[in-house]
Structure 1
């Protein structure tokens, strides 16, 4: 039983879809502190003039708020701005209309908090690429598990019957690998494939929204979502040190 736990990201990059493709259970981790500058409310879009941020403005943000307490602001027409940015950036993309329809579908609804919006954007991508068929999505508030840090993560994985915990590189900052080993749960880090696919606007970059994959490849893009993992003991020391120092 493979478990992935992640904070939501707005129309995330393909790397997060790689994690979803591996997961039997994916936990939306929305009751933790919102970090300004994170990818919860913004993502990069590749344009003819370089990568640009597509950002959802936030209402009355203050220090210490949880992701599920931060509200999108409607003082600006950000939905229309995002759609205009995407329409212009992908004018020549073969599956531009399918990508825009997906975004319109997500933006057609109102969301109580930024976590709900970001989660909806992820689920829309997963449905498009048929990644939701073999993965169960769980909101953290359904589990009723307290504590914090590595201890809480371990409790979550155990409560779900997980035998493997698959995580991004940032977990190297705080994860107690020995505690997982003692309970028989394998910790595995993503070895992001970042597989190149046909892409507009110059040299390939993987660090943009997966909307780019849809616009350029359509549903055929699923073949570029090809995850790899590394057991924690084999995770390169320099990668662990970099994650800790970041």
Structure 2
């Protein structure tokens, strides 16, 4: 995901190992793989990375438009909306360091950003790429194999997984499934009512490294999650 919301970093904080599914299929429509919301004086605004689509392809083959126009536009937008935030300069320097890397692939940009921001907040999770594992199965079987590759006994996931995951398969292999139990804890924000679903850049700008205390959600067992949905 592109500079994702705080919820993804809550998953990272809870996990011993976080696997970037970089060889999963790139969504055909709009997605958070290459766009994200930020706050502005006029509700929300989108930051979008333009990409060169070539039909159905894995995320790690998606090439970004190789010019600095969109990067410069993003930086200008962030400066316009967050220059008055207490930790704007720290956020801006971090983004600059990411955008100055000679990267062509969207997955490389997203992975670099997620890992740099995790380090900024002091999250010590180990990061791995699924493309490095050589696992060729699909869907739930693939996820299970990835977990077993690291002798894992728990899989922490976001809410979207309920639409496709085979819970019984995991149980039969003694792997617990835990869904995120998002607290959406409010932190100081600019521009009116609190919005928990904007980019992590918002937390970084407004709270600095102390923002790690707001990365505080837990999990609930899959049976409890589905029962209460």
What is the TM-score normalised by the length of structure 1?
Answer: 0.90
What SS does the aligned partner of 2:147 have? Answer: helix
Matched, 1:69 2:61: yes
Q: Structure 2 matches for 1:73-84, cutoff 5 A?
A: 73-75=65-67, 77-84=69-76
Deviations 1:186-214 (A, max 9, x none): 00000111110000000000110010001
Deviations 1:58-107 (A, max 9, x none): 12x03211101110102561111101000010121111100101100111
Q: In structure 2, how many angstroms separate the alpha carbons of the residues matched to 1:146 and 1:184?
A: 22
Matched, 1:217 2:207: yes
Match of 1:109 among 101, 111, 116: 101
Q: In structure 2, how many angstroms separate the alpha carbons of the residues matched to 1:167 and 1:200?
A: 30
Deviations 1:199-236 (A, max 9, x none): 00000001100100011011110000002101001014
Q: In structure 2, how many angstroms separate the alpha carbons of the residues matched to 1:46 and 1:215?
A: 11
The answer for the alignment partner of 2:46 in structure 1 is 53
Q: In structure 1, how many angstroms separate the alpha carbons of the residues matched to 2:110 and 2:33?
A: 6
1:237 to partner: Cα distance: 3.7
Q: Structure 2 matches for 1:151-170, cutoff 5 A?
A: 151-170=141-160
RMSD: 1.1
Match of 2:196 among 198, 206, 211: 206
What 5-or-longer segments of structure 2 have no aligned partner? none
The answer for the alignment partner of 1:13 in structure 2 is 5
Equivalences, count: 228
After TM superposition, what 4+ stretches of structure 1 lie above 2 angstroms from structure 2? 236-239
1:20 to partner: Cα distance: 0.3
Contact 1:21 1:227 in 2 (8 A): no
